[in-house]
Amino acid sequence: MKFWFLWSIDAVIAAVALYFFFSLAAGGRVGAFNILPWLAILAALAGVVGGSIWLRSAGQHAVAIVLLLLLAIPGALFVLFFLLLLILHPNFH
């Protein structure tokens, strides 16, 4: 159960990255200058999401969960930060 919860968080993060990539590519903002960083980011996300499933199927459950945590913890902290910004309405003046 813990694996699939973490995997779903990582899958949502990967889906958001794919959305931004395709929306920027449709607008012509992804070109020869920045295609390599985008491909590296998308390859890393695919490695985490796909690699965790491969590790789990190979019997390496603990390693798969650690791999998922590498992306799920910063993603959850990012969402928590923006929720706090929406709830607390801080004044940055």
pTM, two decimal places: 0.90
Could you read off the pLDDT tens digit of each residue along the chain, which spans 93 residues?
899 999 999 999 999 999 999 999 999 999 999 999 999 999 999 999 999 999 999 999 999 999 999 999 999 999 999 999 999 999 988
31-70 burial: b if 16+ Cβ within 10 Å, else e: eeeeeeeeeeeeeebeebbeebeebbeeeeeeebbebbbe
